[in-house]
Structure 1
Amino acid sequence: MTDEFAPQRSEDPERDGSAPTSAGLAGQPPQPQPQSLPLPQQSAGSGAGPVLFQPMEPTSGSPWVTSQAAERDGEPVGLGPLAAADSGASGQDGQADEKGQGQDGLARMDPLSIHPRMSSRILCLVFALVCFALAAGVYWLGVRTMDGQSYDDMVWSGLKETLPSWVTALVGFLSVSTTQLSGWPIVAISIALGLISTLVIVVRKRWWLLGQMAAFGVLCFAAACLKLVLPRSQIIYVASTAKNSAPSGHTILATAASIMLLCAVPRVWRAAMALVAGLYSSLVAFSLVAGQWHRPSDVVMSMLLVTGLALLVLVFTRGSGMDRPGERVSSASIQIVSSILITGGIMLSLYGSYVIWQVQPGLGMSTQWAREGAVDSALIIIAALATLGPGLVLAMRQLTASPLSKLGLVGAPPAPPVTVG
């Protein structure tokens, strides 16, 4: 059978430009072939067919030659000249930028590695403002009202007789004075605590924390100078001095030194230092009132100011002011101690305020029946603030120094070694 649709083959295949294909043999129309470029021919006499590919000879500056030469010479090679350039750049600039790049890398992986949570900082600021407001309220009630001046005078004249004998002996030691320096044991112990705090911070290399504590000390000194500018009007006749004595400089010094030690020590010592801070500041406050150096409103105002300033400084915690990543874990001792101190401080403050409310009708006339209640309430409130302040600082220090995150728990991943070329 004759195939009418079979393609007519040309007599001259070179002019036709096509070769028989399997499709043409099967009776199907051939597919058009693309025009190919002429292949390069070998030189005459080689006896070989056309050359399809001819390898390029590498030049002296090509990446392959560079990498091979570097490998023969013992230099690090990874991606040819890129590895060599990278190793050279690491040797020159890696060490200079290592610290900054490390901080940026940690910030990208986990922002909590270089600064605490915003909620923790806001909480510190709110508590600081509350402490400042309470300090202003204590000053106004104790200085600007008749009942407040009468209350201060009752406690000032009757506190020493109500203290236990062992407390009286300790209070007498703390209130020892010389002609040059009043209450030198308080000053000496507080300075020693401050020096220990500074030494601990330097040994731990917490440079940002060192700046925070320096700012804290300056602010506390400025708060102590308020005594020189705050007015006091004598509304009623009182047995104590008519000059203003609020806030108490010795109370500020003692409370600030103990709180500074609380912030300086590592996590495992913070709960113990909070107890030490509460005990020391309460004994100092009792000694100052029992020794008739200060009124109760003076020491209460001072403790509130120092607590507020400490919380204000914690708002700016970051970097080396925090615990190192990999060491940030929850602490059962901090949770237990801070909860007890804060709860106990609040409850004692409320109870002391209730006692003051009970004796308030007899304050204006300085009645004898109100004297015992006034002294008891002062003891309760001083003890309450001596526990509440360190408890708040302990909890906020843990929140700002050790925010819990994956990177904070396990630490930063190991950095690749830097090869110096």
Structure 2
Amino acid sequence: MPVPASTSDQVEPLHGRGRPVPWRRWVVARSVVVAVAAAVGVIVLYVLAVRTGVGQRFDDAVVIGRFEQRSWFRWSVVVRLTRRSDLPLLAGAAVAFGWAVWRRRYPQAVAAFVVIGGSFATTEILKKLVLPRPLLTTTHPFNSYPSGHTTVAVAVAVGLILVAPQRWRGRVGVVVGVLATLVANGTLAIGWHRPSDAIGACMVVLAWTGATVAGLVLVGAASRSEGARARQLSRGTWVLAAMCVACGIPGVWQLGDLLRRLRDPSLLGTEELKHLYNTADLLVLASVTGAVAIALVLLQGVTLDRWGAPGRARPPIG
């Protein structure tokens, strides 16, 4: 009697030159592409924002502009939440890991640990040892790229998505994505970080997310979801993607105009500083929601299994 093929060997309904693409190869390929693109993005953003005078002037102008943009919500909610975010972020990481272990979903527990721990360790190493900040301006010489708080906030969000039941991923993604944006934008409002720090942190997490999803598939801890509905993008993914586009397009549009006029941050008027700060807010919000949305896309149609679960064959080694 022939042995049925593993679910992981089924094909994705996509074709290249008339030939079906194996499911495992397709998921690994898209995950690796995201991981590599994000890793390259971290370096490119560092060169543009930290190693150039115009990049440093923009970041420093945003730090100055935060004093001119004091809305009630930003200072009463966002800032307070960010200043008290250390314990909730640690609790979120513990919940992500503990929930997966309690359900005996050990691959998911390992995945959450790798994304959160790997992202945070990478950020600290890059900031303290690898990516120095040259003194091209004298306004704010401290080095802060990438942002540790934003890294942990986005990584915990991805970790909670990884351990959530598949049907709840989209809803969980929206909730944790919004909370992560509050932390990321709060670091700007407090003055802990520049906008490039938060955007770079999102790309660090995306690099680890892509590598982790690819690893789960390669070791046989993930299989193709059954049913067409389970393989469709969730509503939560579309909501986050819409937020990313709605904030990203005007943010990039305004950024281009501001960079052309930016010379010396200390000579900018109040309205220009407010404009700079609002633009940075939009770009950071778009980066966080975009990162969480991409994490959901990488998990689209992917069921995370227990190792050795019935009916799930591991891929051969070698």
Give the TM-score category using the shorter length.
0.7 to 0.9
**In the TM superposition, what whole-angstrom CA distance separates every residue of 1:41-95 from its partner, at most 9, and x where no partner exists?**
xxxxxxxxxxxxxxxxxxxxxxxxxxxxxxxxxxxxxxxxxxxxxxxxxxxxxxx
Cα distance change of structure 1 residues 175 and 212 upon mapping to structure 2, 3 Å threshold: closer
Cα distance change of structure 1 residues 105 and 174 upon mapping to structure 2, 3 Å threshold: farther
What SS class does the counterpart of residue 337 from structure 1 fall into?
Answer: helix
Match of 2:209 in 1: 310
CA RMSD of aligned residues (A): 2.9
**In the TM superposition, what whole-angstrom CA distance separates every residue of 1:93-142 from its partner, at most 9, and x where no partner exists?**
xxxxxxxxxxx9564576249x9531122111112222222222222222
Q: Distance in 2 between matches of 1:350 and 1:174?
A: 27
Work out whether residues 6 and 311 of structure 2, in 8 Å CA contact, stay in contact via their aligned partners in 1: no
- Structure with greater strand share of residues: 2
Q: Distance in 1 between matches of 2:59 and 2:142?
A: 13
Partner amino acid, structure 2, of 1:395 = V
Match of 2:251 in 1: 352
Which 10-residue stretch deviates more, 314-323 or 374-383?
314-323
What SS class does the counterpart of residue 159 from structure 1 fall into?
Answer: helix
2:137 matches 1:236? yes
Cα distance change of structure 1 residues 320 and 163 upon mapping to structure 2, 3 Å threshold: farther
What SS class does the counterpart of residue 401 from structure 1 fall into?
Answer: strand
Q: Distance in 2 between matches of 1:112 and 1:148?
A: 47
* TM-score (norm. length: structure 2): 0.81
**In the TM superposition, what whole-angstrom CA distance separates every residue of 1:363-395 from its partner, at most 9, and x where no partner exists?**
123332642332121011111012111111112
Match of 1:145 in 2: 52
Q: Distance in 1 between matches of 2:200 and 2:6?
A: 43
2:303 matches 1:401? yes
Structure 1 residue 165 displacement after superposition: 0.8
Q: Distance in 2 between matches of 1:354 and 1:151?
A: 15
Match of 1:133 in 2: 40
Structure 2 residue aligned with 1:174, among 73, 81, 103? 81
Stretches of structure 1 that go unaligned for 5 or more consecutive residues are 1-103, 177-184, 404-410, 414-421
Match of 1:19 in 2: none
Structure 1 residue 324 displacement after superposition: 8.9
Match of 1:217 in 2: 116
What SS class does the counterpart of residue 237 from structure 1 fall into?
Answer: coil
User: What is the correspondence of 1:38-187 to structure 2 with a 5 Å cutoff?
Assistant: 107=5, 111-112=9-10, 117-162=24-69, 164-176=71-83, 185-187=84-86
Q: Give the total of aligned pairs.
A: 291
Cα distance change of structure 1 residues 343 and 351 upon mapping to structure 2, 3 Å threshold: same
- Identity %, equivalent residues: 22
Stretches of structure 2 that go unaligned for 5 or more consecutive residues are 12-21, 313-318
* TM-score (norm. length: structure 1): 0.62
Partner amino acid, structure 1, of 2:299 = R
Q: Distance in 2 between matches of 1:398 and 1:289?
A: 32
Structure 2 residue aligned with 1:391, among 267, 270, 293? 293
Work out whether residues 300 and 382 of structure 1, in 8 Å CA contact, stay in contact via their aligned partners in 2: yes
- Structure with greater helix share of residues: 2
Work out whether residues 208 and 321 of structure 1, in 8 Å CA contact, stay in contact via their aligned partners in 2: yes
2:272 matches 1:365? no
Work out whether residues 255 and 306 of structure 1, in 8 Å CA contact, stay in contact via their aligned partners in 2: yes
Structure 1 residue aligned with 2:165, among 266, 270, 283? 266
Partner amino acid, structure 2, of 1:125 = V
Larger radius of gyration: 1
Which structure is higher in RCO with an 8 Å CA cutoff and minimum separation 6?
Answer: 2
Partner amino acid, structure 2, of 1:251 = T
